[in-house]
Amino acid sequence: MILKANMVTYRGPTMVANTLHACAILLKRSKDWDWFINLSASDYPLVTQDDLLYTFSDLDRSLNFIEHTSHLGWKLDKRAMPLIIDPGLYMSNKSDVFWVGPKRTLPTAFKLFTGSAWMVLSRAFVEYVVWGWDNLPRTLLMYYTNFISSPEGYFQTVVCNSPELAKTVVNSDLHYISWDNPPKQHPHVLSINDTGKMIASSAAFARKFKQDDPVLNVIDKKVLHRQKGLLTPGGWCSGKPKCSKVGNTYKIKPGPGSKRLRVLVARLVLKSRFGQNQCK
């Protein structure tokens, strides 16, 4: 089992397109993987790769970790109803990033969902959105082309409007993110003061961080046990000095992070099996 990560940063329609493009490349070039994980440059792991592999090794391969809700709140008026026009086509003499056109009515053919732009997608779901053997993924892709922050809605809306795939959703992005209450557009930037809360969350990843922030060194030392300038150690490590060579790539050596993550994932999966907070 191999987990791949896609690094994307732009939060508009381009981000959805880039993610789908990365998924398509992965499908074409490799068959030896089960989940696709998208991350940004502002994310950082709270578990080692071996911890993550160990946790996912016993899971149902069809599960998708996608935070979602149908309660759009303020996003209904500010994101779902405005029509976004590409200034390169319609307003080339303007400096605005977007021009917001007239309001549009909400769709009746499908139900809108929103949530986190960061997710863990199963191979089956990736194949569905890339190959699109029915019209839903393509229809929604066209709809979200003119949508503000489309990465926070496209995958949620696709999976929850497909009856079979909706059963596979686990309502979590496996991230620790610190928000205001009520949430603003962007979360807090994490610092050393957040270290305890990050670890206590048992999440696999946290965001968002400033580049080279001292908290990253703390995570490396106390959580990942990674020495400066070196890779995070794991069962693959071989040679002297330690981890100077790649040994058995199938050997997994989970650490304390795997225990925290396994408990969290087990609890989330159990809720999904009873349909709690799933595509509602």
Q: pLDDT tens string for the chain (280 positions)?
A: 445 444 443 345 678 888 999 999 999 998 889 999 999 899 999 999 999 999 999 999 999 999 999 887 767 666 667 666 654 444 444 444 455 556 777 788 899 999 999 999 999 999 999 987 788 999 999 888 877 778 889 999 999 999 999 999 999 999 999 987 766 777 899 999 999 999 999 999 999 999 999 999 999 999 999 888 888 999 998 988 888 889 998 899 999 999 999 999 999 999 998 877 789 8
Q: Is residue 199 part of a domain?
A: yes
Q: Is residue 280 part of a domain?
A: no
- Total number of domains constituting the chain: 1
How many Å apart are CA 9 and CA 116, to the nearest integer? 14
- DSSP-derived 3-state class of residue 138: helix
How many Å apart are CA 280 and CA 276, to the nearest integer? 9
Q: Is residue 279 part of a domain?
A: no
User: Which residue range forms the structural domain that includes residue 238?
Assistant: 3-273
Q: Is residue 27 part of a domain?
A: yes
How many Å apart are CA 14 and CA 2, to the nearest integer? 26
DSSP E strand stretches across the chain? 3-7, 35-39, 44-45, 64-65, 82-85, 99-103, 120-122, 169-170, 175-177, 205-207, 237-238, 245-246
How many Å apart are CA 201 and CA 203, to the nearest integer? 5
Cβ-contact 167, 173 below 8 angstroms: no
Q: Is residue 278 part of a domain?
A: no
Chain centroid offset of residue 70 CA = 18
74 Cβ neighbours under 8 A, 6+ residues apart: none
Return the bridge partners of 2, or none: none
- Model-level pTM? 0.87
Q: Is residue 113 part of a domain?
A: yes
Neighbours of 2 (CB within 10 A): 12
Model pLDDT, residue 239: 87
Q: Is residue 177 part of a domain?
A: yes
Q: Is residue 258 part of a domain?
A: yes
Angle between helices 123-131 and 13-29 (to 10 degrees): 110
- Three-class secondary structure assignment of 232-265: CCCCCEECCCCCCEECCCCCCCCCHHHHHHHHHH
